[in-house]
């Protein structure tokens, strides 16, 4: 059983997924934050792979990528960070999220191999629709990595069937038509859509984009198997980037998000 | 005549030109991009659509643009029995002063056919922004243009023209605050406004079907050159030379000649301080394959992309 599958099976409540950008504000601080997340209540950790042109992200995540890149982030550094985390944590699933170009530059097969050996469990590539994903899908699956597909408010039933082919791990429901960290989703608008999705698949459905507070988390947990918080955490990292106890402050934030699920 | 094994039949059904092109976009946009493709496939095989395009090309854009025999330039470059007769295709005499109006007219007719009620576009120097603002004014559609802060400073008269035409010009400060970031901002806007908005892309870039569509609208340039050369010289030209930024004018000129082995095609990229330095804009000569703005193509990038 994969770590992702095991995590969802073991929980009797929706999972909390937290997002940080690798190497933000710098490698050492970012690794410290990453290591603090599971104990604070993150059930799954998403790590953003820094990219210069993140077109599906709002300004908060874009700036995080720039901070990381300015501090020397690279794909090699991101994988190194996962490896260092894995040395002390064998259970928490790690999902890398980002864009295709840095993977393409690294080499698709080399990336899948190195990511798997570092301890990556899943990939969310936001600019890679199923139509373009054959090569990465093949490489990732050969190394036991899940391709996590994005489903959006614009996904109809026909498109959903295309998206579900080859999907594994869980599904990521983008709750708004927009970029990360901007408006919040309207629960009543997305609930029927998620119900429709669940009639077509047994995969867990995580909901993300625009979820910021413990109250948002509590609301989304009513309809989702997992709730993703990203920009709210990354904004906190931006505000406190020079603070020596950054990891403690983020841990506190994640604790309050996670207590909304208990 | 289209030959077997010709480059003119590209892209394939999935929008690839060999490994290049494709559709690398957020899933939120995919249904809309598939809808644009469906509308375009319907339009391009509909004679009524092309009649409408040609009507506006003639009466509004002012096509065909002249093919001018540049006598002084020809003499300047003639050395004894060496040299060439040089003709200039005068697409700067189009309404709005550039070739950009060709694909703007074609795309806005498509947007109207799709029932879209809002237009967005990116612009670098401002020519595409001005042309987009112009066709939006013609058809009374609200228009938002994304432009890098640095470009707005450099090209203030074009910003003024766009505003005069009723467009909203949004300053893009993120990244390098130039064309690449303006396109990022436009893509972000499109993801946020999928229901009513058409993204009028300004060059042979972006996800399929945009490169094919822009090429086909711009091909009016090459088709005219072919006809005009036959009238003037009774034969095809030996060489076609075009500047390449994004590639829209070059593709428009070259495409109708791709199967003519006797015609050599030369694209000229901006050399800056030289292609062996990091201060140039020659993505084909000095770049490498990558994925950006919805497509696989050649980009200037570092080893991490």
Cα distance between residue B11 and residue B63, in whole Å: 27
What burial class does residue A245 get, using C-beta atoms within 10 Å of its C-beta: 0-12 exposed, 13-18 middle, 19+ buried? exposed
Options A24, A26, A39, A46, the catalytic residue:
A46
Residue A131 appears among annotated catalytic residues: no
CB B261 within 8 A of CB B173: no
- The alpha carbon of residue B174 is apart from the nearest alpha carbon of chain A, in Å, by 8
Provide the whole-model pTM: 0.93
Adjacency order of strands within the sheet including B16-17: B16-17, B20-24, B294-299, B288-292
Q: Touching check for A131 and chain B: CB below 8 Å?
A: yes
Task: Give the residue on A whose Cα is nearest the Cα of B293.
Answer: A55
Options A24, A43, A57, A62, the catalytic residue:
A57
| pLDDT, tens digit, 9 for 90 and up, residues A190-232 | 999 999 999 999 999 999 998 999 999 999 999 999 999 999 9
Output the average pLDDT for chain B. Answer: 94
Q: What's the DSSP call for residue B264?
A: E
Strands (E), chain B: 16-17, 20-24, 67-69, 87-89, 118-123, 143-148, 168-172, 197-199, 239-244, 264-269, 288-292, 294-299
pLDDT (average), residues B36-53: 98
What pLDDT sits at residue B4?
Answer: 54
| pLDDT, tens digit, 9 for 90 and up, residues B135-157 | 999 999 999 999 999 999 999 99
Per DSSP bridges, beta strands A15-21 and A226-229 are: parallel
Residue A43 appears among annotated catalytic residues: no
Query: Closest by alpha carbon to A259, among A5, A28, A11, A41?
Result: A41
Partner-chain residue, chosen from A62, A75, A177, that has the shortest CB–CB distance to B304: A75
Structure tokens at A38: 């599971």
State whether B290 and A101 contact (CB < 8 Å). yes
What pLDDT sits at residue B106?
Answer: 98
State whether B184 and A55 contact (CB < 8 Å). yes
Q: What is the ipTM of this complex?
A: 0.92
Per-residue pLDDT at A262 exceeds 80: yes
- Band of residue B1 on the pLDDT scale cut at 50, 70, 90: very low
Per-residue pLDDT at A247 exceeds 60: yes
Output the average pLDDT for chain A. Answer: 96
pLDDT (average), residues B101-124: 98
Neighboring chain A residues of B24 at a CB cutoff of 8 Å: 100, 127-129, 132
Angle at B90 between CA B87 and CA B91, to 5 degrees: 140
- The alpha carbon of residue A235 is apart from the nearest alpha carbon of chain B, in Å, by 17
Neighboring chain A residues of B182 at a CB cutoff of 8 Å: none
State whether B184 and A128 contact (CB < 8 Å). no
What burial class does residue A9 get, using C-beta atoms within 10 Å of its C-beta: 0-12 exposed, 13-18 middle, 19+ buried? exposed
CB B298 within 8 A of CB B305: no
The number of C-beta contacts closer than 8 angstroms across A and B is: 104
Partner-chain residue, chosen from A106, A159, A177, that has the shortest CB–CB distance to B194: A177
- The alpha carbon of residue A61 is apart from the nearest alpha carbon of chain B, in Å, by 12
Neighboring chain B residues of A75 at a CB cutoff of 8 Å: 304
What pLDDT sits at residue A21?
Answer: 98
């Amino acid at each position: 059983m994969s770590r992702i599958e095991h995590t969802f099976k073991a929980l009797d409540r929706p999972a909390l997924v937290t997002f940080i950008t690798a190497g933000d504000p710098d490698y050492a601080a970012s690794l410290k934050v990453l290591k603090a997340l599971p104990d604070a209540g993150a059930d799954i950790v998403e790590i953003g792979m820094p990219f210069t042109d993140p077109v599906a992200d709002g300004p908060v995540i874009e700036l995080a990528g720039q901070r990381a890149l300015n501090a020397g982030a690279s794909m090699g550094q991101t994988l190194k960070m996962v490896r260092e985390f894995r040395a002390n944590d064998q259970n928490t699933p790690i999902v890398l999220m980002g864009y295709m170009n840095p993977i393409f530059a690294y080499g698709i097969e080399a990336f899948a191999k190195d990511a798997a050996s570092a301890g990556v469990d899943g990939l969310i590539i936001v600019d890679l629709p199923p139509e373009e994903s054959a090569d990465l899908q093949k490489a990732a699956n050969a190394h036991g990595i899940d391709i996590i597909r994005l489903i959006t408010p614009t996904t109809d039933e026909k498109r959903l069937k295309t998206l579900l082919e080859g999907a594994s791990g869980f599904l990521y429901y983008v709750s708004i038509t927009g970029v990360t960290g901007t408006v919040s989703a309207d629960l009543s608008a997305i609930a029927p859509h998620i119900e429709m999705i669940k009639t077509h698949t047994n995969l867990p459905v995580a909901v993300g984009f625009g979820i910021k507070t413990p109250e948002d988390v509590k609301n989304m947990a009513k309809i989702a198997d997992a709730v993703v918080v990203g920009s709210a955490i990354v904004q906190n990292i931006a505000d406190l980037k020079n603070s020596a106890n950054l990891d403690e402050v983020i841990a506190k934030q994640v604790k309050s998000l996670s207590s909304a699920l208990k | 005549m289209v030959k077997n094994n010709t480059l003119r039949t590209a892209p394939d059904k999935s929008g690839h030109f060999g490994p290049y092109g494709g559709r690398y976009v957020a899933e939120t946009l995919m249904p809309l991009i598939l809808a644009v493709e469906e509308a375009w496939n319907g339009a391009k095989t509909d004679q009524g659509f092309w009649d409408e395009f040609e009507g506006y090309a003639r009466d509004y854009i002012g096509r065909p643009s002249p093919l001018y025999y540049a006598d002084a330039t020809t003499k300047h470059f003639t050395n004894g029995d060496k040299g060439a007769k040089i003709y200039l295709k005068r697409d700067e005499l189009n309404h709005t002063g550039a070739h950009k109006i060709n694909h703007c007219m074609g795309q806005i007719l498509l947007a109207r056919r799709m029932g879209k009620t809002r237009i967005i576009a990116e612009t670098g120097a401002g020519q595409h922004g001005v042309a987009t603002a112009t066709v939006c004014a013609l058809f009374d559609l609200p228009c938002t243009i994304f432009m890098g802060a640095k470009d707005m400073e450099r090209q203030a008269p074009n910003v003024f023209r766009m505003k005069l035409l009723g467009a909203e010009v949004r300053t893009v400060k993120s990244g390098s605050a130039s064309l690449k970031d303006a396109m990022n901002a436009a893509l972000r806007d499109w993801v946020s406004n999928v229901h009513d908005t058409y993204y009028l892309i300004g060059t042979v870039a972006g996800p399929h079907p945009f490169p094919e569509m822009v090429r086909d609208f711009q091909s009016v340039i090459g088709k005219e050159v072919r006809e005009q050369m036959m009238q003037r010289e009774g034969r095809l030209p030996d060489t076609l030379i075009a500047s390449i930024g994004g590639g829209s004018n070059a593709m428009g000129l070259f495409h109708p000649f791709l199967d003519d082995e006797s015609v050599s095609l030369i694209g000229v990229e901006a050399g800056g301080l030289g292609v062996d330095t990091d201060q140039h804009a020659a993505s084909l000569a000095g770049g490498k394959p990558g994925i950006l703005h919805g497509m696989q193509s050649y980009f200037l990038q570092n080893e991490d992309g």
